[in-house]
Structure 1
């Protein structure tokens, strides 16, 4: 089983305001950008940081949402995206509208960073963080534009780091204090265990039930009439804020050599047709996190199996301290 890569520091860029990010995370889900978008941002930011001469390895990324405003109509039971009219074509005719879901976000990005330089020369962190923040300001976040803070001098907008190079006890104490700085907000974590549990429940009633049935069951509110109590009850009690999410891509065919497929975006990289992979996530308050690994998402690519996944190591509160703080 894969695990979060080792990192020595947690870099937090708090309360970023993103305008018009992509709200359509997959062909079947919407409401918040996919974690694949944030992992792509992480890799792009690492390349820019290394090009700027920084000794920073970006190993994982976490997202805490403080506020969101999906650009949809507010009236009626069925909501629709607010669309923009595209510019007219060269001949003056009206161009076709491609439906795009947009969302305004206020979020904090957390990066698992490994840097030997930061370990040797802690005084270089401030300058490096300023450089990273400057690089991010010129990038897109999930397709959205990063806006400057309304009050740039306020403490809440200042990037900060967390040193995780001490003992297990030191790391626990530091993270327990730092996680409170991410409030109020909600962090997205993986809950594949909920998917397995729901599948077992469905198969107890119908052995032909599949993981797709379990995923659809968790994606909606299921009501049942309880004759003993004489009322309708749903299955959401005690489940938390559970949501369907995409977690990467699965291959639809073989890997094609670079340049073989016409009109590919990158002619220097091997090409493969893929489709979205789905799982279950949960929005939880950061103060419920027991370790930074529970917050962070990382890539788990297995080309030989045709899987390109985003993973998260969230565990229930019943896990032992050694499991939660396994940095090796």
Structure 2
């Protein structure tokens, strides 16, 4: 399995208020933006930082969610997103606009960073951090707008950096103190191990379908208490004892060959090779930062693309199983 790239500092942008972020993380999941959106934010911020003259490289990103408010109806069996009323077309019908589910967030963003300049000029770190905060304020996070902090909290919620240039024990000790500054909140970590365990359980019963194993960890089922037709029933799930488990997208799988730049019409970027992909799925867990023992547990990073065309993001929270046992993500191939 890939490991989190080495880094010397973690930059923390605390309690960012994000308005109208995309709540639909994939064709099958919703409720919080995909971690691929935050990886995209990290790369976009690095490009802006390098253009501004900052000698800095980002390698991983982490998110701690403090508050969320999904723009959807509450109560009842079926929920609906609060959508905008767009202008009608020339024929009087609705315009062909793809609506997005929206969510308001308050989150802390963590970026694993490296900068040779900081080792030579320690004072430059604070200046660079202020520049990064200014750049971030003008960007979008998962499609949402970054709002300035409320006036009473502006001084308190200033960005800060964690220097992790010491030994392994020193890094753990520093993180043990710093993680308390991320409370109250929950961080999303990868739990590929739980999906592997559930698939092994289903293999024992003669059903080795990865999609069914994923759904068994994601859905809520109606179960009758007895076999009697008029017996009582209740809604229940199969995640007992595993914590706050959620289905998540973890990247993309190729549907075909890589096309050369400009060869496919109407692409977003005519200077970058293009490929048709579909979502890959796994399971994650929301966990309080004070339960994590190292900063790598809450960081997500991009795995190098494979020859099979897999573009996947990784998290090192679950590292007890080997690569073959853990890598059980899947796409919606018709063989399922």
User: Normalized against structure 1, the TM-score is what?
Assistant: 0.91
Alpha-carbon offset, residue 153 of structure 1: 5.2
Supply the distance in 1 between the matched residues of 2:233 and 2:83 (Cα, whole angstroms). 41
The answer to whether the Cα contact below 8 Å between 1:248 and 1:310 also exists between their aligned partners in 2 is: yes
Alpha-carbon offset, residue 211 of structure 1: 1.1
Structure-2 residue corresponding to 1:325: none
Of 297, 302, 306 in structure 1, the residue corresponding to residue 300 of structure 2 is: 297
Structure-2 residue corresponding to 1:160: 160
Relative to structure 1, is the Cα distance of residues 96 and 253 closer, same or farther in structure 2, using a 3 angstrom cutoff? closer
Gap regions ≥5 residues in structure 2: 227-231, 322-336
Alpha-carbon offset, residue 225 of structure 1: 6.5
Work out the number of aligned pairs and report it: 315
Alpha-carbon offset, residue 270 of structure 1: 0.5
Question: What is the root-mean-square deviation of aligned Cα atoms in Å?
Answer: 2.1
Supply the distance in 2 between the matched residues of 1:196 and 1:126 (Cα, whole angstroms). 43
Alpha-carbon offset, residue 9 of structure 1: 0.1
Supply the distance in 1 between the matched residues of 2:290 and 2:273 (Cα, whole angstroms). 42
Supply the distance in 1 between the matched residues of 2:208 and 2:20 (Cα, whole angstroms). 39
Supply the distance in 2 between the matched residues of 1:45 and 1:108 (Cα, whole angstroms). 16
Of 268, 280, 285 in structure 1, the residue corresponding to residue 283 of structure 2 is: 280
The answer to whether the Cα contact below 8 Å between 1:11 and 1:112 also exists between their aligned partners in 2 is: yes
SS in 2 for 1:44: helix
Structure-2 residue corresponding to 1:209: 208
SS in 1 for 2:103: strand
The answer to whether the Cα contact below 8 Å between 2:216 and 2:238 also exists between their aligned partners in 1 is: no
Alpha-carbon offset, residue 125 of structure 1: 1.1
Deviations along 1:213-260, whole A, 9 cap, x unmatched? 100100023566688xx9977533211000000000000000011111
The range that moved more, 233-242 or 244-253, is 233-242
Structure-1 residue corresponding to 2:333: none
Structure-2 residue corresponding to 1:61: 61
Relative to structure 1, is the Cα distance of residues 257 and 303 closer, same or farther in structure 2, using a 3 angstrom cutoff? farther
The range that moved more, 17-26 or 117-126, is 117-126
The answer to whether the Cα contact below 8 Å between 2:58 and 2:114 also exists between their aligned partners in 1 is: yes
Deviations along 1:177-223, whole A, 9 cap, x unmatched? 00010000000000000000011111212x23311110010002356
Supply the distance in 1 between the matched residues of 2:77 and 2:40 (Cα, whole angstroms). 35
The answer to whether the Cα contact below 8 Å between 1:38 and 1:61 also exists between their aligned partners in 2 is: yes
Alpha-carbon offset, residue 11 of structure 1: 0.1
1:265 and 2:268 are equivalent in the alignment: yes
Relative to structure 1, is the Cα distance of residues 301 and 75 closer, same or farther in structure 2, using a 3 angstrom cutoff? same
1:142 and 2:145 are equivalent in the alignment: no
Supply the distance in 2 between the matched residues of 1:136 and 1:166 (Cα, whole angstroms). 28
SS in 2 for 1:304: coil
User: Normalized against structure 2, the TM-score is what?
Assistant: 0.89
Supply the distance in 1 between the matched residues of 2:193 and 2:60 (Cα, whole angstroms). 21
Relative to structure 1, is the Cα distance of residues 152 and 139 closer, same or farther in structure 2, using a 3 angstrom cutoff? farther
1:21 and 2:24 are equivalent in the alignment: no
Gap regions ≥5 residues in structure 1: 320-328
SS in 1 for 2:260: coil
Supply the distance in 2 between the matched residues of 1:234 and 1:280 (Cα, whole angstroms). 15
Alpha-carbon offset, residue 172 of structure 1: 1.1
SS in 2 for 1:122: coil
